[in-house]
Structure 1
Amino acid sequence: MKKVAVIQDMSSFGKCSLTAAIPVLSVMGVQACPLPTAILTAQTAYDSYYCKDLTAEMPHFIEEWGKMNETFDGIHTGFVTGEQQIDHIMQFLARFQTTDTTVLVDPVMGDMGDLYKMYTSHLLERMRALVKQATIITPNITECCLLTGIPYEKLHNYHEEESFMQAVEEAGQVLHAQTGAQVIITGVTSSYTEKPSISNVVIDAKQSFYHKQPFNGQSYSGTGDLFASVVIGGLLRGQSLEETIKLAEQFLTAAIETTAKQTSLTKAGVYFEQHLGMLL
């Protein structure tokens, strides 16, 4: 059985990070091996939450898994609480990454042009170093701009969809050139037509593509984590990148449609559990 080390936080509420990655990878036939970076009572969009930072505990996982002579087919990193955690992740990669390891880095730093509370210039510099170790990077537009230095406003200074999407692709090409990784710019929304859409724009040395999905105007907790988990799970079980992107989009579209019919509480995440059978 393929194994993925999932280096992320565990939030009890919000259906994100480890609570999203573990069920998705498991149902796809991949063993999820969690390395928790923090434990939260709820994800950080909630009005109140408690966070236990586990930065100091991360080296114990590296040491103990090294003693066990463990190997990993994939390594999946997400939300980190600061640059020291990235230093530990770099040590993890130095110990466990091989030329055959699929490394997916989700560079969580901000969204919609806004930066998250833990963002610092030092964190950005360490994240720029981390993404250079990746096979696949899954930033949103804000994070792609941070990593490349392209102004966020520049990508939103267009009056028609074709020019906007071309600018997004060009930003992804810059990030690909800087890192050598496959780049998937996630959650790219477009309202240039009567029916708003959302896309995930894929860029690498060989191709560039995206598929439009209907967009209901809402942003749900954990959808990026679910998307990234399906991507690495699909690739490890032998699917092509385009196949696994389509599967991730179909899975999330179904989960979002179900959620929108039952609740308007977006910070609680999406009702993905009843759609896990789509990933078998």
Structure 2
Amino acid sequence: MTKKIAVINDLSGFGRCSLTAAISVLSAMGVQACPLPTAILTAQTGYPSYYCDDYTDKMEYFRSEWEKMGQHFDGIYTGFVAGEAQISQIFYFLETFQRPDTFLLVDPVMGDDGKPYPFYTPALLEQMHKLALQADIITPNLTELCLLTDTDYQSLMSKNNFSELIQTIQDIGQEFCRKGPKYVIVTGIRFHDPDRIQKMGNLLIDLNGSSLFSFPYIGGSYSGTGDLFASCIAGGCAQKNSLSSTIEKAGQFLEMALIDSVKEQVPRNDGVNYEKYLSLLIPSSL
């Protein structure tokens, strides 16, 4: 039977992110994506101009109608939320649909490069912190990890020693794991390895330690890469694949998309050319 994941995220007309990314990635991985939009945007928020239709007052319709249908989800995956009121709606959704066999993946979209996004507020952080503590897996970038754990981003990034940086991130992640999630996967860690080669890595952290999955830094910074990565993780969890193998596959998928995008000089806000590489995610049994 096809696995199903409820994906609570926005839908952006341009930007190759959020629900556009999740639906295509999960479909390629043989998983049914059931979208619950938090907002409908003409384009993702990195563009200089966009229109956003907030769906806070419509989220309850999805929950109640799906409850009438007697739906069951193998996983629930949350991404962009337009404000703290939407997280309250998500908690209600979890009360209705989360079961012992339903995993919760939270991608705590709040900022990047050491800076919160424009919609960020302390109230949103408070609610996102509560939601992240309920998750089985969270996929923050370094900025979001610092926000969730009240860590100074600049102090963290001032660590020039590769081993010290990774150990510090592991310690921060493990402290958060002790409070709630089983796994913290810190995404988009840019660093120089001991051979001074610039790389991009994702660090899988649990209470037993951590594992770093990295590839050469391609260059460029693009909309939606975090969404694509988190969607790969959600799909792998639904299919009961190991996190290590899923992170490895997600990294290979994104590396190819990034190489293609840098070569074609795709504008940052447009997102990466990932569509032609979705075949890398198709399970061998399909």
- Alpha-carbon contact 1:144-1:175 (below 8 Å) kept: no
* 1:82 has 2:83 as partner: yes
TM-score by length of 2: 0.95
In the TM superposition, what whole-angstrom CA distance separates every residue of 1:73-100 from its partner, at most 9, and x where no partner exists? 0101001010000000010001000111
Where does 1:188-203 land on structure 2 (aligned, <5 Å)?
188-191=189-192, 194-203=196-205
Structure 2 residue identity aligned to 1:123: L
Alpha-carbon distance, 1:275 to partner: 0.4
* Structure 1 residue 243 corresponds to structure 2 residue 245: yes
Q: Distance in 1 between matches of 2:61 and 2:212?
A: 40
Distance 2:159 2:52 in 1: 40
- 2:198/2:217 contact within 8 Å kept: yes
- Residue 133 of structure 1 aligns to which amino acid in structure 2? Q
- TM-score computed with the length of structure 1 as normaliser: 0.97
- For 2:172 and 2:111, how far apart are their aligned partners in 1? 16
* CA shift for structure 1 position 181: 2.7
Unaligned runs of 5+ in 2: none
Q: Distance in 2 between matches of 1:211 and 1:66?
A: 39
Structure 2 distance, partners of 1:129, 1:175, is 12
**C-alpha deviation, 1:179, in angstroms:** 1.6
Contact map agreement 1:128 1:147 (CA 8 A) in 2: yes
1:122 aligned residue: 123
Distance (Å, rounded) in 2 between the aligned partners of 1:35 and 1:264: 29
Tell me if the contact between 1:24 and 1:229 (Cα under 8 Å) persists in the aligned partners.
yes
CA contact (8 A) 1:258 1:271 kept: yes
Aligned to 1:107: 108
Corresponding residue of 1:131: 132
1:162-201 alignment, distance < 5 Å: 162-191=163-192, 194-201=196-203
Following the alignment from structure 1 to structure 2, what is the Cα–Cα distance between the partners of residues 180 and 43?
28
SS of the residue aligned with 2:213? Answer: coil
Separation of aligned partners in 2, 1:13 and 1:4: 23
**Equivalences, count:** 280
Match 1:234 to one of 218, 236, 242 = 236
Please give the alpha-carbon distance, in whole angstroms, between the structure 2 residues aligned to 1:119 and 1:249.
28
In angstroms, what is the RMSD of aligned CA positions? Answer: 1.1
Cα distance in 1 for partners of 2:74, 2:87 equals 20
